[in-house]
Amino acid sequence: MAVDAASEPKVTRIRRRKAARLTLRDRLAVILMLGVPLLFVVGLIWLPTLLSVVLSFTSWDGIGGIDTIEWVGTRNYQQIVEIYPPFWPAFRHNLYWLGFLALVPTTFGLLLAYLLDKKIRGTRVYQSIFFMPVVLSLAVIGFIWQLVYAPEQGLINNILGTTEQGNLIDWLGNPQLNLWAVLVATAWRHAGYIMVLYLAGLKSVDPALREAAAIDGASEWHAFRTVVFPAMKPINIVVLVVTVIEALRAFDIVYVINRGRNGLELLSILVTDNIIGEASRVGYGSALAVILLVIALVPIITFVARTFGDEW
């Protein structure tokens, strides 16, 4: 606190006046209350983030000491984009992940919220059912859906009658298919989450707006599209941010199913491979992390600007 005060003299004056009302004991309390949590978030999140950026321009096998770190400029980035085979598939899969989450479960969650927001019978029960997958860990969801997708013993193939050698559908083993199969499992969880957010959003829409539209004779769909949906703009932004971030974070479910290979490559998997994989390439892994960071900054800045912009 005292450090950045020195660099901004104008602010210091105001702060000192405010701080003067605090006794020494109070000031000590404030420093502890802010300082200890700050230590965690700066030391374990922002410092490593910064180090990721720095290390991404270096080459290091992680075995030799810090003095063996070699500065290589943008070589890691060049190699990733040009010759690292899984990069573009992983990048594409993350894009599909985002596109799918944004189009399918998000729309479905909105539809569920819209239907359940009306005071229909059993709305609580429906809400609980659709929300239940949200409390499960993605690792457990991976196991549950492996049982559903299992080639010979799984629910889906047995219902479709595709369990014989000739017509067997290998949902999780076929690289043309498995990403979409996993996305369905992810959607199972995401839709419930979105539903809850939109249920809150719909409650916040002034009912007078809807009634005005209804009195004007607008159809339900028209009223929703032109009145209700635009009125939920704050929630729409949160939903968008949540969806983008979920798509970038995607990891657990794929890792549980096949460690992210054979059609299920994701950027997050590539980062992890370069740490706990056989070849520990710190610079490479960091460069991949920075690519993730740059993409993640878009939703993060959107969210921060919307939330804190007017308080600045």
Partner 1 sequence: MSSRTASTALPRAIRRPALGRPRFGVHAFLVVAALFWLAPLLWTLYTSLRPYSETAEHGYVSLPRTLTFDNYTNAWTQADMPHYFLNSLLITVPAVLIVLFFAACVAFVVTRLSLRFNVAMLIVFVAANLLPPQVVLTPLYRMYLEIPLPTFLSENGKMYDSIVGLIAINIAFQLGFCTFVLSNYMKTIPQSLNDAARVDGAGVVRQFFGIILPLCRPALAALATLEFTFIYNDFLWAVVLIQSGAKRPITSALANLEGVFFTDNNLIAAGSMLAALPTLIVFALLQRHFISGLTLGASKG
Q: Near partner 1 by CB under 8 A, which window of 46-54, 70-78, 97-105, 172-180?
A: 46-54
**Rule CB under 8 A: which of 228-287 touch partner 1?**
234-235, 238, 241, 245, 248-249, 251-252, 255-256, 267-268, 271-272, 274-276, 282, 285-286
Asked if 204 interacts with partner 1 (CB under 8 A), we say yes
Site size toward partner 1 (CB under 8 A) is 119
**DSSP code of 166?**
T
Asked if 299 interacts with partner 1 (CB under 8 A), we say yes
Which amino acid would we find at residue 41? Answer: V
Angle between helices 123-131 and 87-117 (to 10 degrees): 170
| CB closer to partner 1 out of 73 and 312 | 312
**Rule CB under 8 A: which of 174-203 touch partner 1?**
185, 188, 193, 196-197, 200-201, 203
Q: Near partner 1 by CB under 8 A, which window of 50-58, 70-78, 79-87, 169-177?
A: 50-58
| CB closer to partner 1 out of 94 and 179 | 94
How many Cα atoms occupy the beta-carbon half-sphere of 162 within 13 Å? Answer: 12
Cβ 179 vs Cβ 163: under 8 Å: no
**Rule CB under 8 A: which of 65-94 touch partner 1?**
none
CB of 238 to partner 1, least distance (A): 5
**Rule CB under 8 A: which of 7-36 touch partner 1?**
11, 14-15, 18-19, 22-23, 25-26, 29-30, 32-34, 36
Distance separating alpha carbons of residues 105 and 89, to the nearest angstrom: 23
CB of 200 to partner 1, least distance (A): 4
CA 202 to the chain's CA centroid:
23
**DSSP code of 64?**
S
| CB closer to partner 1 out of 81 and 275 | 275
Instruction: Tell me how far CA of residue 77 lies from CA of 32, 162, 216, 283, 308, in angstroms.
Output: 41, 44, 58, 10, 33
- CA-wise closest residue to 243 among 114, 86, 94: 94
Near partner 1 by CB under 8 A: residue from 78, 220, 233, 279: 220
Which amino acid would we find at residue 267? Answer: L
Residue 155's CB: how many other CB atoms inside 10 A? 12
Asked if 59 interacts with partner 1 (CB under 8 A), we say no
Strand positions, DSSP E, the chain: 58-59, 70-71
Which contacts (CB < 8 Å, 24+ apart) does range 78-84 have?
A: 79/284, 80/284, 80/287, 80/288, 80/291, 84/284
Letters for 102-141 (x = contact with partner 1 by CB under 8 A, - = none) are: ----------x--xx-x-xxx---x-xxxxxx-xxxxxx-
CB of 44 to partner 1, least distance (A): 4
